Each structure stands twice: as C-alpha cells, then as structure tokens.
Amino acid sequence: MQNKECIALILAGGQGSRLGVLTKKVAKPAVNFGGKYRIIDFPLSNCTNSNIDTVGVLTQYQPLELNSYIGSGQPWDLDRSFGGVYLLPPYMKSETGIWYKGTANAIYQNMNFIQMFNPRNVLILSGDHIYKMNYTKMLDFHIRNNADATISCIKVPWDQADRFGIMETDKSMRISNFYEKPKNPVSNMASMGVYIFKWEVLKNYLIKDEADNSSSNDFGKNVIPSMLNEGQRMFAYKFNGYWKDVGTIYSLWEANMELLHKRPAMNLFDKGWRIYSKNAIQPPHYTASGAVIKDSMITEGSVIYGKVKNSIISSGVKIGKNSIVEDSVLFPSVVVEENCIIKKAIIGERSVIMENSKIGVLDAIDGQTPSKMCSDGIVLIGSDLIVEPGSNIAKNVMVE
C-alpha cells in the first residue's frame, strides 16, 4: 500500500445557526461568498495549492447542496485515482450509527477512511473560514520540530480573545498552555482551528477520548488539553495573513466588503494562489449604457442596467433600470427589478426584489421586528423569496 505524507480532513458539519436564514437549507461551508465562491472553496483550494491531494469532507447538517457542489472534486483538481476528495457523512456501523458528537468524534468515526491512506500526518481544517494558507509550510514546521501536534495560530484583538482557543508558548514556539475560550485571556495567540497531528499519536488519543464518557469529544476542549497534559510535543505555528471567521451575518458581510478595498488583504486576483470554484455556465456580464458601477465586483452572467456602488454582485444577477444597490451582497441569480433601492443587504440565491421596493432604507417600520442575527443595519433576505412590488423593509430585519 502507498503511504501519504499528509491527508486533510475538513470539518464541514457545522450548522452555522448564527447565519440565520442563509443556512436554513445549506450547511455553513456551502454559503456563497465573494460573487462566485462558497466558503469551502477556500480550504479546498488551499489544499490543492499546497499539493495535498487527499481530502475528506465531513458533512452532517443539510449536506445535499454541499455534496452536489463538491461532486467529483474536479473544479479543485481533486478528482484523483489514488486520493482525491471524499464526502464523509456519518453512517451506520454494524450495530450502531450515531451523528458526529463533536469535532474529535467526527474524526474518530472516520478512522477507517484515514487508515486507507496510512498517512504519517493528518491536517484538520474547518470549513468556515476565509483565508489563503500554504499548508506545506506548516507541515515543514511540524516535521522540523518532530511535533506530535502543530496548531496554527493568529494574533487576534485582545477583546476578542475570549472567543478562541488561546495558547501560551515558549521561545521555540512549543505550547506550554492551551485555554479554550478563557474568561481572562493570558495571550492573544488564537487557534485558527487548523491542526496537524502525527496520525499514530492522534489515533491513540481519539480512541482514549471516545472511551471517556465525560468528554464532549472536541479537539479544543478535550483532545488538545489531554495531549498537552501528557507532555506530547505540541507547537504553535504563527500565521500572518488574512484570516476571517465568517460565522455571523456581520462578519460575512464585512468579509465581502473587505474584498472591495483598493488593495484587499484577501487578493482573489493572485494567479499564484487561485481560489477554485465550480463555475456557473454563464456568458460575460453585460453593463448597459445607463449603468453606473463603482467600487464593486461583478460576476459573469450578470446584467446591470442600474447603479451599483460598493457591492458584490454574483453570477446571473439582474439589476433593472433606475435601481440603486449599495454596500450589499447579492447572491447568484438574484433579480432586482426597476426603481428599487437596496442598502446594506445580503440577498439569498434566486430571490426577486420586485419594482419600487426599498430595502434597508428606513431605521424601523411598524410590524417589522429587528432580528437578533442582524446588526449594524444589515438586512438579510433568504433564498427563493419574492419581495412584492413597492415593499419597504427596514434595517436589521431578516426575511425568510
């Protein structure tokens, strides 16, 4: 049997409940991003660009769209004879079959899959972050240190450190302490949820963790602390690039808006590190004579007659005459008819905003309750909805 140096597993089972109606029908990693991508394109493309050719995608919540999106893995060049991309939902074993209980349990349930490739190391990723990272460099660091585990980390603002797994290290970057979501953080070095483990070592800890009924079977809460307690060689790998958790409506909107900066930290035009995606079959986009487009990204298949400012327009979107779209993210195949005003909105796939509608213009409207998911004035409209002509939807409202 051939051995793989390193295979990747992407945890893509998260429900993403803080994304409200956007994850009503799809798993969080399948949420649209940046005009033509989905969130999972980023870890998948990072794997491809890092020459990792075997990737397991662990799905659980609403897997249908994610499964059909990934398909054979061809858009990421992951349709391989030995290796490639595998979709790994929970399944029935001889007597029992259970849902993935936690991140560590999800890997535990797929030990047979990993064993098939008998890798020296496994790279564990999460399917809900936007970043470009060369995992090869991290793997080199891991091997150079003869580490049992390497955790990628990034400096976060001190006031947010209590939302992450926080690490303390010595000068050689060996981890001395790890605190999962600490109330009083002692450091601002946060775990990015990107781990490399020696497979032989991890395997034993997964088995031990599974046997422990009191464990919640989570990497951050259980497996990593217990490895650290037992003196395993664990190192922190510093990452300096752009990394964004898009787990909330606001952070998803903000990450999209950050693409529109003059020199965005997340450069999608970098030909040396392309982000691959399943491309819609669409003609070039058409900009009509009366259209005005500024500081925006427009994807193929769109047809623009109105005004677009500071917005992300996905494939197949139509914007009618005299309509204004500002600071918004329009998902694929959204239709905005004539004479509409749309401000600071995220609009789900295939929804139709009929003529003379106003979205995100007024602060509050009687009968419309602001959503807890929305903040900072962002309006969220789900997919496949029809907003009737002349509608008026206030800021911070979620329509489903």
Identified binder of other proteins from the candidate list 13, 14, 29, 35, rule CB under 8 A: 35
Strand 84-88 versus strand 54-58 pairing type: parallel
Cβ neighbour number for residue 206 with a 10 Å cutoff: 22
In angstroms, the CA 300 to CA 306 distance is 16
338 near other proteins (CB under 8 A): no
Which token pair is 287? 């900009």
Specify the stretch interacting with other proteins by CB under 8 A; choose among 192-200, 247-255, 280-288, 355-363: 280-288
Partnered with residue 237 across adjacent β-strands are 152
Which token pair is 293? 């487009």
226 vs 287, which CB is nearer to other proteins? 287
In angstroms, the CA 85 to CA 108 distance is 18
Angle at 288 between CA 282 and CA 289, to 5 degrees: 160
Identified binder of other proteins from the candidate list 116, 268, 352, 365, rule CB under 8 A: 268
Identified binder of other proteins from the candidate list 29, 75, 127, 165, rule CB under 8 A: 75
Task: Provide, rounded to whole angstroms, the least separation between the CB of residue 298 and other proteins.
Answer: 5
Residues 228-267 as x/- pattern, contact with other proteins by CB under 8 A: --------------------------------x-x-----
Identified binder of other proteins from the candidate list 64, 98, 288, 386, rule CB under 8 A: 288
Q: Which long-range contacts (CB under 8 A, 24 or more apart) does 165-173 make?
A: 165/190, 165/191, 165/220, 165/224, 166/190, 166/191, 167/191, 167/236, 169/235, 169/236, 172/145, 172/235, 173/145, 173/235, 173/236, 173/237, 173/238
Identified binder of other proteins from the candidate list 146, 281, 366, 367, rule CB under 8 A: 281
125 near other proteins (CB under 8 A): no
297 near other proteins (CB under 8 A): yes
Task: Provide, rounded to whole angstroms, the least separation between the CB of residue 27 and other proteins.
Answer: 23
322 near other proteins (CB under 8 A): no
237 vs 253, which CB is nearer to other proteins? 253
SS3 category, 226: helix
287 near other proteins (CB under 8 A): yes
Specify the stretch interacting with other proteins by CB under 8 A; choose among 97-105, 112-120, 306-314, 392-400: 306-314
Using CB under 8 A, count the residues that bind other proteins: 37
In angstroms, the CA 202 to CA 209 distance is 10
Specify the stretch interacting with other proteins by CB under 8 A; choose among 99-107, 134-142, 279-287, 322-330: 279-287
In angstroms, the CA 46 to CA 49 distance is 5
Task: Provide, rounded to whole angstroms, the least separation between the CB of residue 70 and other proteins.
Answer: 16
313 near other proteins (CB under 8 A): yes
Whether the Cβ atoms of residue 364 and residue 394 lie closer than 8 Å to each other = yes
183 near other proteins (CB under 8 A): no
354 near other proteins (CB under 8 A): no
318 phi and psi angles, rounded to 5 deg: -120, 130
Task: Provide, rounded to whole angstroms, the least separation between the CB of residue 264 and other proteins.
Answer: 9
283 near other proteins (CB under 8 A): yes
SS3 category, 114: helix
In angstroms, the CA 61 to CA 23 distance is 10
What is the binding site for other proteins (CB under 8 A)? 34-36, 74-75, 260, 262, 268-269, 274-277, 279, 281-289, 291-300, 308, 312-314
